Structure 1
Amino acid sequence: MPSSVAPDVPRAEYPRPQMVRPDWLNLNGPWQFEIDAGDTGLERGLRERDLAGTITVPYAPESELSGIGNTDFMPAVWYRRTVTIPAEWAGRRTLLHFGAVDHDATVWVNGVEVVRHRGGFSPFTADLSGVARPGEEATIVVRARDSRHGPQARGKQSTRYHNYECLYTRTTGIWQTVWLEPVPDVHLRRPRITPDVAGSAFTVVAPLSANRPGNSVRVTVSDPDGVVVAGTVRADIDLSPTVRLELPAGRVRLWEPGDGFLYDVKIELLDAAGAVIDAVDSYAGLRSVSIDGKRLLINGKPVFQRLVLDQGYYPDGLMTAPSDEALLRDIELSLAAGFNGARLHQKVFEERFLYHADRLGYLVWGEFGDWGSHAEGEHKHTASFVTQWLEVLERDVSHPSIIGWCPLNETGQVIHDHLTHLDDVTRGMFLATKLADPTRPVIDASGYSHRVPETDVYDSHNYEQEPEAFAEQLSGLSKDQPYVNDIEGRPISVPYRGQPYFVSEYGGIWWNPELAGTEQAADRSTSWGYGQRVRTEEEFHERFAGLTGVLLDDPDMFGYCYTQLTDVFQEENGIYRFDRSTKLDVSRVRAAQTREAAYERTASEG
C-alpha cells in the first residue's frame, strides 16, 4: 500500500490484486455530490460549479456508509473532486481508474471529457495525458445516469420504489474504488495467465500499449522457496508477447479446492539495455477444469460442488462491502456452514472478493447481473450487455477460483418457429465467453431456458420444498431425462444431451425465528422466501437435510447451489442473517452436506 493512502480513507486496500504497481493514489473519501432529479445538470452548469453536498466514495448514495442514504430514484447524480497529481510521477502518463459506476458515466477532468462508459458492473479507465500533468491539479467531475425505465443490466436492483420479493435497494453512481496510477508511455496492460496442469506450466500473455525496438518481456514465477522459473521473449514486434513457463517437477503444486496455493508472478517490460521500463506483480494458481461425460472435473478429479448462492449485499454498504475484511468474512462464513464455493449471483463482485477466494481455494461461478433487461414484457438485451460481459471476462479470466461462467440467468423465451432477439443474445454471449476463455465450462443461461445446444453444462432451478416430491422430480437424470424448467408447461429449452448437470438453485427455505407463531409470519410484504415457511428451526434442519440429501445421493449430479448465504432485506432464506449474525445451528447445516456424496463415492469406486 502506498504511503499516500491516509489511514482514514475508506476501502484503502489496493483494488486490483492481480496487477499491482507500487505507485498509485486512492481517491476514495469525501467528494462533492449533488442529486440531479431532472437530469438537467449539464444545462444548469453543474459541471462547472461546486456541488451542494458531500458523499463518501466508494459507497453509493442509497447506502448509509455514503452519508446520503437516499433510497428514492435518482435519474442522475454528480460528483466533483480536485486532487493534485503527485509531482514525482513526472515523465509518465496518469491513468484514472473507476472500479464500477452504475450505470451510464461521463467523466470530465479540468473541463475536458475524458471517458464515457455504460454499465454498472465493469471497470473503465481514462488517460489524462494532455489534460492534467504530474504536479498539477486535476478537477474530476463525474455524471452518472441511472434510468428507472428501459432495459439495463441491474441484477437484483428493484425497479419499484420499495424492495420486494428477491429485489433490493438500488445502487446509483460510484460504488467501487476510484484511483490514479502512473504508467510509462509504453506500458504493460492487463496480463492473462493460463494454467496448464497437464504440462505443469503457465502461459502468460502480456499485452502492451505499443512496441519499441529492442524491448522484451520477462516473466518470473516464484514460490515461498524462491524463483521457480523465468522466461524472456521479444516485445518489439508483437502487441501481446507470450511466455510459456514450465515448472520443474519438484516445484509443481496444484491449486485445489480448500487449498488455494498461489505462485507469485512478476511481469517486466525491458528496454534494449535490459533496464526495467514497467513492472507489475501478479499471481497464479495451477488448476484445470475438464468434462468427462456427466462429470465436471477439477484437476482431473470429480469434486462435488457444494455451492451457496451469494448475493453480495450488505446492510450499510449495499453492493459495496463495508471493508475488505467483510469480503473475506463472507467466504469464511460459507466454509463454516459446509459449502466449498459459491455462485456469485446477479452481480459482478469486487475483484478483492476473488482474491480472497483464490487464496482460500474457494470455488466460484462468475456471473453477469443481466436481470433488468425486461421492457414491455420482453427481454430487451442491448449491445452493452455483451460489451460489459467482455469487460468482466477481461478483468477476471486469470482468477483460479473461477471454475465456470454464466452470462445469463433465468431467461424465459418459448420455442418459436423462428429465431428471437433473445436467441441471438444468448448464443452471442455464449460464443463471446468461449472465445474469451476456452479453458472453462460455460452455462448459456442458468436455469429456465437453455437455447445453445452445445452448452457445456445443463442446469435447473427447483424450489420444491418437500424432499419426496423433490426426489421424484429429479429422478430422471440417470436416464438422461433430468428435471428441466418450463413456463406454464411449455418447453423453453433445447433437449438435454448428457452434459454435466446440477441444480443451480434450490432450497430458499423461508425462516425468520422472530416471526415464528406471529400473524406476520404469513405477510410476504415484509418477509419473503420460497414455498411454505417452516414453523421451527428443527423443521428447517429437517427440510434442509432432506432436500440436500436428494442431491448428495444422486451419482449423476456433480453439485448444487443452495439459496442462499444470507438474508437480504425482506428475503429471509439465508443461512445467516443480513448482518451476518447467526440465526441457525450452523454445525447442523454443515453436517447435513459434508457427508460423502454419491458422485464422490462413485469416483473412488471407479
Structure 2
Amino acid sequence: MKKAHLILAGLLLSFTLNAANDIPRPEYPRPQFERSEWINLNGEWTYEFDFSNSGKSRRLTIAKQFSNTITVPFCPESKLSGVNYTDFINQMWYQRPISIPSDWEGKKIILHFGAVDYYAEVFIDGHYVGSHYGGSSSFSMDVTPAVKAGQKHNLVVYVTDDARSGLQTIGKQSTRISPYGCFYSRVTGIWQTVWMEAVSHYGLKSAVTTPDIDEEQLIITPEFYQASNDRTLQITLYDNQKKVVQKTVKCNNGTPVILPIKNMKLWSPEDPHLYDIVYSIKSPTGETVDEVKSYIGMRKVHTADGMIYLNNEPYFQRLVLNQGYYPDGLWTAPNDEALKNDILLSKAAGFNGARLHQKVFEERFHYWADKLGFITWGESPNWGMNIKNEVASRNFLSEWAEVITRDRNHPSIITWVPFNQPLEDALTLLTGTMMRLCIGTYQLTKAIDPSRPVNGIAGDVHFMSDIWSIRNYESDAMRFAQHLKPNNRMAFYNNQPFFIGEFGGILWTESTKRDNSWGYGGMLTNEEGFYERLEGLIQTIASSPDVTGFCYTQLTDIDLEKNGIYYYDRRPKLDMQRIKTIFEKIPSRPKKIK
C-alpha cells in the first residue's frame, strides 16, 4: 500500500509540474528509466535563423527573446513547428525561460535533450554549460552549477546543421533544395523532447539489464552519479504488481547484481511479457533518496548454423521497412499515439517486426514495441557522411555508441545495423578508411552490447557481419529467385543467416499525378497487379531453403516515394486483410526453415 501511495504522489507531482494539456508530446520521454520529479520543456520557444553565422558576435548567447516563435519538439521544417521553413538552415538559435522548483534545492539538476540535429551548444544566463555532436543521439547535461532552486533562468541553444558537409549522418534527408526520389524533407535543430529532472547527488545514473534465460536470471549492472560505501541500492522485480525477487547491494559502479527468476516468463512477439523494476537508493538511515521505475523483457536472440534464434527457437522475421517520417512532424511523431499506431498498422499487415531505416527512433517507439510485441532492427542514419573522411568517421562512432548505450535495454530490438547499403562504388569501398570504419564499428557495437547480432552493412556489401543480408528489388518472381543466394562481394560467405534485407518496393498509387512518383519495378496499372506481384515474391521466398527472414519496402509513402502499403497519412492503400494473408503465408515459427 505504501508503494502505491508513493507512485500516486509521484504521478500527481509530474502532472502538476508539466501541465500536460498545454504541452506537445507531454508523455515521459524515457519510459525505461522514469523518475517522478521532472519538467517537460516542450512548447513555445523563441528562435532566430542565423544564415550569416554571426550570432555569437552579436551576443545571442545572452538574448532574452528572439523575434519568432517555434513549437518544440518539432523541427522548423515541419508544419507542427509553426515555422514550416523548407530551405537549408545551417545555423539557428533557440531560447526559453526555465524555472527551477524551490523543492529541488540540494539536488542535482539534469537537462536532457532527446535529439538535436546536428551540433548543439547550450547556454544558461549566457554561461556555456555544454555541447554535443550527433543529430540522432540523446544527451544530458548537469546544469546544477548554473541554476538555483526557486529562481528563473534563461536557456539558449545554438544549433549548426550542414547536411551537405559530408561530416555528419543525415539519413534520407535531401541534399537538394527539395525532396527527390527516395530522399525526403530535411530536419534541423531540436526534434525530440527537452526536459529537466531533479536527482540525488547519489542517484542512479544508468543500469544495464542483461536477461539470461538459460540460467534463469537477470543481470543488472548499475552506474551511479556518485558511488557510496554507506548507501545501498535496492532492486525489486515485479510481475503484474507481485514481487518476484528483491536484492539490496552497496552502491558500487559496474558491479553486476544477479537476480534469480523462478518460473521465468519469456518475452516474444506472440507473448510480450514484461517485468517491472523499481530501483531505490537508500540513505544510511533507510530513507529513499532516489527512485527509478523501469521494466525488462526476458528474451534471448542469437545466430548459429545459418539460423536466427529467438528464445532458442528458430524465428522467421517478417519485417517491414519503417523510415519514421510523418507528413506534419517529419522525424517527430505528432503524438505518442502515432508511434503506437505505426506498430499496430504493421501488425495488421502481417509483419512481426520492422527494420527502422536510416533513422534513430524516439525511445517511446521502442517502449510501444516492447509493450505490443514487435521486433525491430536498430539502424544508424549513416547516409550523408563521407566514408573516406576520418572526421566523419569519428563523428559517426561517437553518435553510434550513444545510440546503442541508450537503447540496449529494449527487448524488442534484436539486431543492430550500423550502416545501410553504401552509395559509393566498389573501389571506394575498398579504401582503408571505409574498411577500418566498418570493422571498427562492428567491434565497438559488440563491445557495448555483445547480446545481439550485428548486421554490419545492410545490403550486398559485407566486411564483418553476423547476418548476411542482400537487397533484391527484382519484380519478376523468376528473376527474383535467381538472386536469392549469398554473394561474395568484399568478403566470403561463412554460413551466416541469409536474410533478404530489402525487397518489394512495389510502386502503386491511385493518384493521377504519377510523373514524379518513385518506387521499384515500374508503375502498376491496377491494384490486382500489386497482389499478384507480391504473392509471387512471397511464394518464392517461402520456397527457398536458405532464407531466414525478409524486410519488405515499405510501410508508408514518403514525399515522392510511393511504394508504401499505406499512404503517407497512414490511410490504407490496399485491402490490408489480403496483404496480411499474403505475408503470413510464411509462419514466424516454422518447423524447419533450412
With the shorter chain as reference, the TM-score category is: over 0.9
1:446 aligns with 2:458: yes
1:465 aligns with 2:478: no
Report deviation, 1:514.
1.9
Q: Give the alignment's Cα RMSD to 1 decimal.
A: 1.8
Report deviation, 1:555.
2.7
Report deviation, 1:554.
1.8
- Match of 2:590, SS? helix
The answer on whether the counterparts of 2:486 and 2:493 sit within 8 Å (CA) in structure 1 is: no
Tell me which of 270, 281, 284 is aligned to 1:272.
284
Tell me which of 497, 500, 507 is aligned to 1:500.
497
1:452-487: CA deviations, max 9, x gaps?
A: 2xx21110111111111101221xxxxxxx243xxx
1:470-529: CA deviations, max 9, x gaps?
A: 01221xxxxxxx243xxxxxx7420111100111100000011123xxxx54x2xx2111
Report deviation, 1:70.
0.1
Task: Return 273-282 or 297-306, whichever deviates more.
Answer: 273-282
Task: Return 95-104 or 221-230, whichever deviates more.
Answer: 221-230
Q: Match of 2:354, as an amino acid?
A: A
Equivalent in the alignment of 2:538: 548
Report deviation, 1:379.
9.4
Tell me which of 340, 343, 346 is aligned to 1:328.
340
Distance 1:352 1:418, change over 3 A: closer
The answer on whether the counterparts of 2:278 and 2:292 sit within 8 Å (CA) in structure 1 is: yes
Q: How far, CA to CA, are the matches of 2:58 and 2:418 in structure 1? A: 39
The answer on whether the counterparts of 1:189 and 1:209 sit within 8 Å (CA) in structure 2 is: yes
Task: Return 202-211 or 434-443, whichever deviates more.
Answer: 202-211
Report deviation, 1:416.
8.5
1:191-234: CA deviations, max 9, x gaps?
A: 11111110111111110112222222111100115100111222
Q: How far, CA to CA, are the matches of 2:88 and 2:332 in structure 1? A: 18
Q: How far, CA to CA, are the matches of 1:416 and 1:315 in structure 2? A: 35
Report deviation, 1:419.
5.3
Tell me which of 177, 193, 212 is aligned to 2:209.
193
Q: Match of 1:568, as an amino acid?
A: I
Tell me which of 410, 418, 421 is aligned to 2:421.
410
Aligned runs of 1:414-425 on 2, under 5 Å? 414=426, 420-425=432-437
Task: Return 568-577 or 218-227, whichever deviates more.
Answer: 218-227
1:385 aligns with 2:401: no
The answer on whether the counterparts of 2:462 and 2:490 sit within 8 Å (CA) in structure 1 is: yes
1:150 aligns with 2:162: no
Distance 1:444 1:99, change over 3 A: same
Aligned runs of 1:556-567 on 2, under 5 Å? 556-567=546-557
Tell me which of 25, 29, 33 is aligned to 1:11.
25
1:574-594: CA deviations, max 9, x gaps?
A: 010000001111111111111
Q: How far, CA to CA, are the matches of 1:29 and 1:129 in structure 2? A: 23
Tell me which of 256, 271, 295 is aligned to 1:242.
256
Equivalent in the alignment of 1:127: 142
Tell me which of 13, 38, 42 is aligned to 1:28.
42
Aligned runs of 1:576-587 on 2, under 5 Å? 576-587=566-577
- Superposition TM-score, scaled by structure 2 size: 0.94
Q: How far, CA to CA, are the matches of 1:374 and 1:535 in structure 2? A: 39
Q: Match of 2:351, as an amino acid?
A: F
Q: How far, CA to CA, are the matches of 2:454 and 2:471 in structure 1? A: 17
Q: How far, CA to CA, are the matches of 2:568 and 2:517 in structure 1? A: 13
1:418-444: CA deviations, max 9, x gaps?
A: 751111110111001000011110011
Q: How far, CA to CA, are the matches of 2:38 and 2:103 in structure 1? A: 11
Q: Match of 1:8, as an amino acid?
A: D
Equivalent in the alignment of 1:83: 98
Report deviation, 1:38.
1.5
Distance 1:288 1:599, change over 3 A: closer
Which blocks of at least 5 consecutive residues in structure 1 are unaligned?
A: 475-481, 485-490
Q: How far, CA to CA, are the matches of 2:533 and 2:483 in structure 1? A: 16
Q: Match of 2:48, as an amino acid?
A: E
- Paired residues, what number? 577
- Superposition TM-score, scaled by structure 1 size: 0.92
Equivalent in the alignment of 2:6: none
Equivalent in the alignment of 1:487: none
Q: Match of 1:502, as an amino acid?
A: F
1:117-156: CA deviations, max 9, x gaps?
A: 0111001111112210111112100011011422210011
The answer on whether the counterparts of 1:261 and 1:285 sit within 8 Å (CA) in structure 2 is: yes
The answer on whether the counterparts of 1:554 and 1:598 sit within 8 Å (CA) in structure 2 is: no
Q: How far, CA to CA, are the matches of 1:567 and 1:401 in structure 2? A: 24
Equivalent in the alignment of 2:239: 223
Task: Return 363-372 or 594-603, whichever deviates more.
Answer: 594-603
Equivalent in the alignment of 1:363: 375
Tell me which of 538, 544, 548 is aligned to 2:528.
538
Equivalent in the alignment of 2:3: none
- Match of 1:94, SS? strand
Q: How far, CA to CA, are the matches of 2:451 and 2:511 in structure 1? A: 47
1:339-393: CA deviations, max 9, x gaps?
A: 0000000000000000000001101001111010138x98973201000011011
Q: How far, CA to CA, are the matches of 2:88 and 2:74 in structure 1? A: 16
Tell me which of 52, 58, 71 is aligned to 1:44.
58
Distance 1:404 1:181, change over 3 A: same
Q: How far, CA to CA, are the matches of 1:46 and 1:419 in structure 2? A: 43
Task: Return 336-345 or 193-202, whichever deviates more.
Answer: 193-202
Q: How far, CA to CA, are the matches of 1:259 and 1:26 in structure 2? A: 33
Distance 1:219 1:355, change over 3 A: same
Tell me which of 292, 307, 319 is aligned to 2:331.
319
1:66-125: CA deviations, max 9, x gaps?
A: 000000001111100012111111110111100000001000011111110011100111
- Match of 2:228, SS? coil
Tell me which of 69, 75, 85 is aligned to 1:54.
69
Distance 1:271 1:158, change over 3 A: same
The answer on whether the counterparts of 2:302 and 2:452 sit within 8 Å (CA) in structure 1 is: yes
Q: Match of 1:537, as an amino acid?
A: E
Q: How far, CA to CA, are the matches of 1:596 and 1:156 in structure 2? A: 30
Q: How far, CA to CA, are the matches of 1:101 and 1:549 in structure 2? A: 43
Equivalent in the alignment of 1:139: 154
1:102 aligns with 2:99: no
Identity of aligned residues (%): 42
1:6-47: CA deviations, max 9, x gaps?
A: 212000000000000011000000001111111211112222
Equivalent in the alignment of 2:272: 260
The answer on whether the counterparts of 2:508 and 2:524 sit within 8 Å (CA) in structure 1 is: yes
Q: Match of 1:470, as an amino acid?
A: F
Equivalent in the alignment of 1:477: none
Q: How far, CA to CA, are the matches of 1:351 and 1:295 in structure 2? A: 29
The answer on whether the counterparts of 1:157 and 1:170 sit within 8 Å (CA) in structure 2 is: yes
Q: How far, CA to CA, are the matches of 1:416 and 1:366 in structure 2? A: 26
Equivalent in the alignment of 1:479: none
The answer on whether the counterparts of 1:154 and 1:371 sit within 8 Å (CA) in structure 2 is: yes
Equivalent in the alignment of 1:67: 82
Report deviation, 1:270.
2.0
Q: Match of 1:460, as an amino acid?
A: I
